[in-house]
Amino acid sequence: MNRSTVPPAPDALPCGLIVATAAGEIAWVNQTLRDWIGLGPEEPLGCARIDELLVPAEPAVGRRGLDALLRQGQPLFELPVSIARRDASELPMSVTASRRDDGSGLFDFVLIPARQMQSAQEELRQTQEELRMLVHESTRHEADATDRALFAEQIVGIVSHDLRNPLSALHTGLTALGRSQPTEQQQRMLERMGRSLERANRLVADLLDFTAARLGAGLSSHARAIDLHEVVGEALEELRLAFAGREIQHVREGDGWCLADPDRLAQLLGNLVGNAMAYGAAGEPVRVVSRVDGGEGEGEVSVGVHNHGRPIPPENLERIFVPLVRGEGDGRSRSVGLGLYIVEQIAKAHGGEVRVESQASAGTTFTVNFPRNR
pLDDT in tens, 270-281: 999 999 998 999
The pLDDT tens digits of the residues spanning 29-50 come to: 998 899 999 998 888 888 899 9
124 falls in which pLDDT band (50, 70, 90)?
Answer: confident
- Cβ atoms of residues 273 and 290 within 8 Å: no
The pLDDT tens digits of the residues spanning 310-352 come to: 999 888 888 888 876 655 544 444 455 778 989 999 999 999 9
177 falls in which pLDDT band (50, 70, 90)?
Answer: low
Strand partners, 5: none
Instruction: Please tell me the distance from the alpha carbon of residue 271 to that of residue 323, in angstroms, as a whole number.
Output: 13
pTM over 0.75? The answer is no
Per-residue confidence (pLDDT) for residue 131, from 0 to 100:
79
Q: How many residues does the chain have?
A: 374
Q: Count Cβ neighbours within 10 Å for each residue of 287-319 and write b for 16 or more, e otherwise.
A: bbbbbbeeeeeebebbbbbbbbbebbeeeeeee
- Cβ atoms of residues 170 and 200 within 8 Å: yes
User: Is the confidence at residue 363, as pLDDT, over 60?
Assistant: yes
Top-confidence residue, 198 or 225: 225
Per-residue confidence (pLDDT) for residue 242, from 0 to 100:
82
pLDDT above 90 covers a percentage of the chain that reads 39
User: Is the confidence at residue 1, as pLDDT, over 50?
Assistant: no
pLDDT above 70 covers a percentage of the chain that reads 72
Instruction: Please tell me the distance from the alpha carbon of residue 301 to that of residue 33, in angstroms, as a whole number.
Output: 61
Top-confidence residue, 228 or 85: 228
Instruction: Please tell me the distance from the alpha carbon of residue 304 to that of residue 250, in angstroms, as a whole number.
Output: 10
Distances (CA, A) of 193 to 79, 170, 172: 19, 6, 9
14 falls in which pLDDT band (50, 70, 90)?
Answer: confident
- Cβ atoms of residues 303 and 285 within 8 Å: no
CA atoms within 13 A on the CB side of 330: 11
- Cβ atoms of residues 58 and 105 within 8 Å: no
